[in-house]
Amino acid sequence: MLVDEFYVSLSAAITRNTIGHKTRNWENYFDGLRNLTIRVVARTDERVLTAAEKAELTKRLIDRIDELANDGLRSNGAKLSFSIRRN
Q: How far is CA 28 from CA 25, 31, 43, 44, in A?
A: 6, 5, 23, 25
**Which of 14, 29, 22, 26 shows the shortest CA–CA distance to 60?**
14
Checking if the pLDDT of 81 tops 70, the result is no
74 pLDDT band, cuts 50/70/90, is low
Task: Give mean pLDDT, residues 57-67.
Answer: 96
Hey, how many other C-beta atoms are within 10 angstroms of the C-beta on 10?
17
